Amino acid sequence: MGFLRNASRLDGLIERLESAEGLEDLQVLIEELRDEYGVDHIVYHWVNSAGEQYGCGTYDLEWVNRYVEKGYLRIDPVIQGCYQRFHPVNWKRLDWSSKAARAFLEDAITHGIGNQGYSIPIRGPNGQFALFTMSHNGSDEGWERFTGDNRRDLILVAHYFNSKALEFEPGRTPEAAQSLSPREIEAMTLLAIGYNRAQAADTLSISEHTLRVYIESARHKLGAMNTTHAVARALSRGVIVV
């Protein structure tokens, strides 16, 4: 497994995400992401309030078809577990105790999905739910180290990916409001998922003073009374997703 340690590489990746012009571009990017991180698979899947679904990823089509035919959506512990959570989840911490879940996992491993996984649940406007998932075949220790070292970057990438995918949602009407800059979106997203200001500044490699400038600018654009109000408005309008 590789690491996206270089900040400029991460910035370049986010820039390519921002310039994506359609769902086909997201498929190309998710394949690049898989290669950048050196994992077996990366998958993005969403469901909106109308029940419409979209997905892209690197699973073999044979497994995707088998997953649908077997009705695995009903028993998949990753789907069930992540729908009840807001923070990233290591698959080993989910409930695999049922016979059906164990059989599903064995089948998934047989089809090359990997024995390790890490999923980031994302909630957007109007009931949208999405998952950004990495899976790999490796040791528990190596996977813990990989996800621990990359957690913050993975959260940012997942939310940027979802934000871009939302732009391509059929019938989507953007809010009439001043657009937040990429840095303002990053700052507000980190606050929304529970980072304090020191952690957010460290993640973005900026000072807390600079972070405050981004937050105040975003608050002004959103017409919010305070930071909490700004985060709530950004979430409700779909400007950020967590």
Residue 177 lies in a domain: no
Are 66 and 21 in a shared domain? yes
pLDDT of res. 162 = 84
SS3 assignment for 81-137? HHHCCCCCEEHHHCCCCCHHHHHHHHHHHHCCCCCEEEEEEEECHHHCEEEEEEEEC
Q: Are residues 47 and 105 both part of a single domain?
A: yes
How many Å apart are CA 123 and CA 139, to the nearest integer?
Answer: 30
Quick one: pLDDT band at residue 172, thresholds 50, 70, 90? low
Q: Report the C-alpha gap between 146 and 47 in whole angstroms.
A: 28
217: in domain: yes
> Do 44 and 118 belong together in one domain?
yes
- 196 and 84 in a common domain: no
40 closest CA partner among 121, 108, 131, 122? 108
pLDDT computed for residue 90 by the predictor:
96
**229 is a domain residue:** yes
Q: Are 154 and 118 in contact (CB under 8 A)?
A: yes
The verdict on 161 and 191 lying in the same domain is: no
What phi and psi values does residue 130 have, to the nearest 5 degrees?
-140, 160
Asked if 147 and 200 sit in the same domain, the reply is no
Dump pLDDT digits (tens) for 188-219: 999 998 899 999 999 999 999 999 989 988 98
Q: What is the CATH number of the domain that holds 192?
A: 1.10.10.10
In the predicted model, what is the mean pLDDT of the chain? 85
- The domain in which residue 205 lies consists of 182-236
Report the distance separating Cα 161 and Cα 7, nearest Å.
Answer: 17
Site of tokens 């040791």? 139
- Of 8-17, 29-38, 170-179, which range is least confident? 170-179
Q: How far apart are CA 121 and CA 82, in angstroms?
A: 6
Instruction: Based on the fold, state whether residues 121 and 194 are members of the same structural domain.
Output: no
Q: Which two tokens stand for residue 187?
A: 């700052």
Co-location of 203 and 116 in the same domain:
no
Instruction: Kindly state whether residues 11 and 131 are assigned to the same domain.
Output: yes
Same domain, 156 and 196: no
pLDDT band at 24; cut points 50, 70, 90: confident
pTM: 0.70
Asked if residue 92 is part of any domain, the answer here is yes
- Tell whether 141 and 51 lie within a shared domain: yes
Tell me, yes or no, whether 14 and 128 share the same domain: yes
Last residue of a domain, one of 108, 134, 167: 167
Provide, rounded to the nearest whole percent, the portion of the chain with pLDDT above 90.
43
- Please state the domain count of the chain: 2
Last residue of a domain, one of 108, 132, 167: 167
Average pLDDT, stretch 146-159? 87
Q: What is the mean pLDDT of residues 43-56?
A: 76
Task: Using the predicted structure, report yes or no on whether residue 6 has a pLDDT greater than 60.
Answer: no
The better pLDDT of the pair 168, 135 is held by 135
Mean pLDDT calculated for residue range 83-111? 92
